[in-house]
Structure 1
Amino acid sequence: MQKGESYILLDERWKLEDFSILTKEYMQLYSFFYSLRLVENDAFSQLEFERMPWLGGGSVVGFFSIMGKLIHPDNKPEVKRIQYASPGFIELTLIVEVAKDIGIIVTALSGAVASVAGTYNLIHSQYQKRKLTQLKIKDLEAQQLINEIKFVKDSVKELQEKYKLSTNQVQSLHKISRGDELVQLKMLLALYRRAKPIAALQVNNKANFKNA
């Protein structure tokens, strides 16, 4: 992975909480896509994710926490320059491929806000209604819950398409989840909740990640 500079363009009036959203959620997205590239490149031998139960919200928090720890200290984003004006920018030193990955999902979400939000809300509602929080795909298969299995597989595919995930990213998610589509669904739902606030900054013309 190549280290270099990336720009987040700034505009409009920013509130202090906007910077909090940018730093917190951007780092979680960076951790996510950085880890996918590690998996893609076989850059580490043991997936800590395999030990996670993926039963309830705690596993989601733990998942992103583990991903954050996988970033080599030299590859964490560093602020090189900030110019707050209209327009302004934040210049970061980081892994440029990961910055581009973030730009793709943020642009995908901000370009189809209502569509993606509607898809997420429908899937999440059905996910809860079907009581899938405490289950894995093997549980559905053991009970021969055909409709639930189909819902999970279709939802995973739909979210992958909405997020504009590449074939390599999809394959990395498959490896991390050990082929469990329900675990993948939980990952993708959690990813939306972290990408949405960043996309909102772009929708409101406060930040632009398209040229990251």
Structure 2
Amino acid sequence: MNKGQTTILLDERWKLEDFSVFTKEYQQLYGFFHGLRLIKEGDFSNIEFERMPWLGGGSVVGFFSILGKYVRPENKPEVKQIQYASPGFIELTLYVEVAKDIALIVSSVAGSITSVAATYNFIYSQYQKRKLTQLKIKDLEAKQLREQIEFVKSSVLELQQLYKLNPAQVKALTQLSKGDELVQLKMLLALYRRVKPVADLQVNNKANFKSA
């Protein structure tokens, strides 16, 4: 990966919570896509979350936290320059490939935010209704719950397509989840909850990530 600069255009009136959303969620997305690229390059080892039970929300929070730890301090996004005006901008020094990954998923969600939200809400409601939060795919296979297994697999594919994940990212996610589609579904649902607030900034013309 290459270090460089990316520029995110700013506009409209920002509230303090907008900056909080931007910094918190952007950093989590950065850790996530940085991790996928490490896997692609064969530089990811001793993955701590292999031991996670993936039963409930705690594992999801821990998952993003651990991914963030794999970004060395000197490689975390740093503000090179910021101008708050109408329009303004923020210039970051970071891995440019990761910035482009973030820009793509944010723009994909922002471009169809209503339909993506509807898809997420449907999948998440079914995920809870089917009581999948405390299960892994092996539990469904052991009980031969074919309808549940098909729901999980089709939901994973649909979210991958909505996020416009490329084949290398899909392969990395498969490695992260150890081939467990239900664990991957939990990752993808959690990913949406981190992309959505950033995408809202773009929808509301407060930030434009397309130039990243």
**Alignment partner of 1:81: what SS?**
strand
Distance in 1 of aligned mates of 2:66 and 2:47? 10
Which residue pairs with 1:128 in the alignment? 128
Q: CA deviation at 1:78?
A: 0.2
Q: CA deviation at 1:48?
A: 1.6
**Which sections of structure 1, spanning at least 5 residues, go unmatched?**
none
Q: CA deviation at 1:74?
A: 1.6
Deviations 1:153-188 (A, max 9, x none): 000000000000010000000001000000000000
Distance in 1 of aligned mates of 2:211 and 2:174? 29
Which residue pairs with 1:31 in the alignment? 31
Which residue pairs with 1:142 in the alignment? 142
Which residue pairs with 1:92 in the alignment? 92
**Alignment partner of 2:12: what SS?**
coil
In the TM superposition, 1:14-93 aligns within 5 A as 14-93=14-93
Distance in 2 of aligned mates of 1:159 and 1:183? 13
**Alignment partner of 1:131: what SS?**
coil
Deviations 1:48-104 (A, max 9, x none): 221111000000000001001000112100000000111100000000000000000
Distance in 2 of aligned mates of 1:50 and 1:15? 38
**Alignment partner of 1:179: what SS?**
coil
Distance in 2 of aligned mates of 1:8 and 1:35? 22
**Alignment partner of 2:152: what SS?**
helix
Distance in 2 of aligned mates of 1:45 and 1:63? 15
Which residue pairs with 1:165 in the alignment? 165
- TM-score, with normalisation over the residues of structure 2? 0.99
Which amino acid is 1:165 matched to? Answer: L
In the TM superposition, 1:195-210 aligns within 5 A as 195-210=195-210
Distance in 2 of aligned mates of 1:82 and 1:67? 27
Contact 1:108 1:162 in 2 (8 A): yes
Q: CA deviation at 1:47?
A: 1.9
Q: RMSD value over aligned CA atoms? A: 0.5
Q: CA deviation at 1:44?
A: 2.5
Distance in 2 of aligned mates of 1:47 and 1:39? 10
Distance in 1 of aligned mates of 2:34 and 2:52? 19
**Alignment partner of 2:149: what SS?**
helix
Contact 1:49 1:177 in 2 (8 A): no
Identity, in percent, stands at: 73
In the TM superposition, 1:103-122 aligns within 5 A as 103-122=103-122
Contact 2:35 2:44 in 1 (8 A): no
- TM-score, with normalisation over the residues of structure 1? 0.99
Distance in 2 of aligned mates of 1:7 and 1:205? 15
**Alignment partner of 1:155: what SS?**
helix
Q: CA deviation at 1:118?
A: 0.5
Which amino acid is 1:136 matched to? Answer: K
Which residue pairs with 2:182 in the alignment? 182
Distance in 2 of aligned mates of 1:52 and 1:42? 21
Contact 1:174 1:184 in 2 (8 A): yes
Structure 2 residue 205 is the aligned partner of structure 1 residue 211: no
**Alignment partner of 1:71: what SS?**
coil
